[in-house]
Amino acid sequence: MATTLAKAAETVEYAARLEHVSKSFAGPGGQQLVLDDISLDVAPGEFVTLLGASGCGKSTLLNLVAGLDRPTVGSIATDGRPALMFQEHALFPWLTAGKNIELALKLRGVPKNERRDKAEELLELVRLKGAYGKRVHELSGGMRQRVALARALAQESNLLLMDEPFAALDAITRDVLHDELTRIWAETGLSVLFVTHNVREAVRLAQRVILLSSRPGRIAREWAVDIPQPRRIEDAPVAELSLEITDVLRGEIRRHGQH
């Protein structure tokens, strides 16, 4: 699977391309502009984090890229259909870990006699070997998110969209999953668009950090993260860049009158 993903990524110009994307929703006072004139490319194999204050439109933007909604203005193109991973694991509790993954394989058209082996491979990739038959209630929060990640990978998309997938986890589990995600990203050649409000998480993971302003969301600034992997969230270069980004984020929040 890793080879297939990597080869596919090499043949396209972009994993995602957003051109002058705006999104409005109907509100009490009329149309409310949530995103305004967003233009962004995610390169094949690139890891990009979207950062911003609550309510700036990060999740809305991710939903647009996923195809769950359509922009009011502008266009979005992706290299195939993206896979989406949410903050909540959204696993079916009546299915085992393996069967949750097999469901994604079934929807992708994988023959029944191949699904068990592929599900086992994916569980091993996320370091849950032997967990095929475990029920959701038998898994810790971190293990559930690993199964959710394996299910997303089962779609064999070249673009993985992640909406604050580790926000509900404790700091130690989150740090372990940062390591796992970085390893899987490097092994598979996936492109990742990762939404977070945690500045250090954004710097810890990404090759590029995009900061959205608030009300409406616009690209306020971006940073290339030239810190070699593997990184630790407490590393001095990570902390230094995080402080710089936090200062700009605070300025954006003050400018928009948020507290």
pLDDT in tens, 190-207: 999 999 989 999 999 999
Q: What is the pLDDT of residue 255?
A: 77
Residue 178 sits in the same domain as residue 232: yes
pLDDT one-digit tens code per residue, 32-57? 899 999 999 999 999 999 998 888 89
Among candidate residues 126, 156, 186, the one where a domain is terminated: 156
Specify whether the CB–CB gap between 181 and 233 falls below 8 A.
Answer: no
- 106 and 234 assigned to the same domain: no
Residue 16 has pLDDT above 80, yes or no: yes
- Are residues 235 and 191 both part of a single domain? yes
139 and 162 in one domain? no
The pLDDT value given to residue 11: 63
CATH code of 196's domain:
3.40.50.300
- Quick one: 63 and 173 in the same domain? yes
Q: What is the pLDDT of residue 4?
A: 36
Please say if the pLDDT value at position 26 is more than 90.
Answer: no
The 10s digit of each residue's pLDDT in 80-136 is: 999 999 877 788 999 999 999 999 999 989 999 999 999 999 999 999 999 999 999
Distance between CA 198 and CA 208 in Å, rounded? Answer: 14
Number of domains forming the structure of the chain = 2
On whether both 39 and 162 belong to a single domain, the answer is: yes
pTM of model > 0.85: yes
Domain that holds residue 111: 88-156
H/E element, 152: helix 141-153
User: What is the per-residue pLDDT for 54?
Assistant: 81
Last residue of a domain, one of 97, 128, 156: 156
Q: Are residues 136 and 174 in the same domain?
A: no
| Mean per-residue pLDDT of the chain | 90
Q: Cis peptide before 44, with omega less than 30 degrees from 0? A: no
- Among the listed residues 5, 19, 133, 33, the one whose alpha carbon sits nearest the alpha carbon of residue 74: 19
State both tokens at 21: 């994307």
Q: Same domain for 70 and 169?
A: yes
What pLDDT does residue 6 have?
A: 42
Residue 3 pLDDT > 70, yes or no?
Answer: no
Shared domain check, 78 and 169: yes
Q: Are residues 168 and 59 in the same domain?
A: yes
Among 156, 174, 196, the domain boundary falls at 156
For residue 1, name the pLDDT band (cuts at 50, 70, 90): very low
> Are residues 71 and 165 both part of a single domain?
yes
Q: pLDDT exceeding 90 applies to what percent of the chain?
A: 72
Average pLDDT of the residues in 155-160: 92
pLDDT band of 257, cuts 50, 70, 90: low
For residue 136, the 8-state DSSP code is G
Q: Please give the angle made by the CA atoms of 228, 229 and 232, to the nearest 5 degrees.
A: 105
Same-domain status, 76 and 191: yes
Instruction: Report the range of poorest mean pLDDT among 92-96, 166-170, 251-255.
Output: 251-255
